[in-house]
Amino acid sequence: MNLTQLRALVAVADAGSISQAAERLGVTQSGASQAISSLEESLGVRLVVRGRRGMSLTAVGERAVVKARESLASLEAIRTIADEALGIERGQLTLASFPSVFSTLLPPLLQQFNTQHPGIKVVALEATDEEVDAWLAAGTVDIGVVMRLSPERVGATFYRDEWVAVVPAGHPLSRPAGRVIPLATLVAEPFVLATGGCATHARLIAQQHGLTLDDVRVEVRDWASAFALIREGLGVSLVPELNLPEDRRGLRVLRLETPIHRDLGLEVAPRSAESSIALAFLRMASQVATHPKSPVHNVET
The 3-state secondary structure of 206-221, one letter per residue: HHHCCCCCCCEEEEEC
pLDDT tens over the chain, length 301 residues: 888 888 888 888 888 888 888 887 777 888 888 888 988 888 999 998 887 777 888 899 899 999 989 988 888 788 777 766 666 667 889 999 988 888 788 888 888 888 888 888 899 998 888 899 899 998 999 999 998 787 788 888 888 889 999 999 989 998 887 789 999 999 999 999 988 777 778 999 999 999 999 999 999 988 889 999 999 999 999 999 988 988 899 999 999 999 998 888 899 999 898 888 898 898 888 776 454 444 444 434 3
pLDDT of residue 294: 42
Q: Domain of 241: which CATH number?
A: 3.40.190.10
Q: Could you tell me if 256 and 181 lie in one domain?
A: yes
Q: Could you tell me if 256 and 267 lie in one domain?
A: no
Q: Could you tell me if 31 and 97 lie in one domain?
A: no
Q: Could you tell me if 26 and 70 lie in one domain?
A: yes
Residue where a domain terminates, one of 85, 110, 138? 85
Q: Could you tell me if 266 and 148 lie in one domain?
A: yes
Residue where a domain terminates, one of 29, 64, 85? 85
Query: Whole-model pTM above 0.75?
Result: no
- Look at residue 226 and tell me if it is in a domain: yes
pLDDT of residue 177: 73
pLDDT of residue 168: 95
Phi, psi of 206 (to 5 degrees): -60, -45
Q: Domain of 56: which CATH number?
A: 1.10.10.10
Q: Could you tell me if 118 and 239 lie in one domain?
A: no
Q: Decide: helix, strand or coil at residue 255.
A: strand
- Look at residue 201 and tell me if it is in a domain: yes
pLDDT of residue 185: 95
- Look at residue 43 and tell me if it is in a domain: yes
pLDDT of residue 256: 94
Triad 288, 5, 24: Cα angle to 5°? 25
- Look at residue 59 and tell me if it is in a domain: yes
Q: Could you tell me if 42 and 190 lie in one domain?
A: no
Q: Could you tell me if 69 and 198 lie in one domain?
A: no
Q: Could you tell me if 120 and 170 lie in one domain?
A: no
pLDDT of residue 296: 47
Residue where a domain terminates, one of 31, 64, 85? 85
**What are the Cα distances from residue 69, in Å, to 59, 62, 65, 82, 289?**
16, 11, 6, 20, 15
Q: Could you tell me if 226 and 168 lie in one domain?
A: yes
- Look at residue 173 and tell me if it is in a domain: yes
- Look at residue 292 and tell me if it is in a domain: no
- Look at residue 95 and tell me if it is in a domain: yes
- Look at residue 293 and tell me if it is in a domain: no
Q: Could you tell me if 11 and 73 lie in one domain?
A: yes
pLDDT of residue 301: 34
User: Maximum CA pair distance of the chain?
Assistant: 62
What domain count does the chain have? Answer: 3
Range of the domain at 111: 89-158+262-287
Q: Could you tell me if 183 and 109 lie in one domain?
A: no
SS3 content of the chain, % helix, strand, coil (to 5): 45, 25, 35
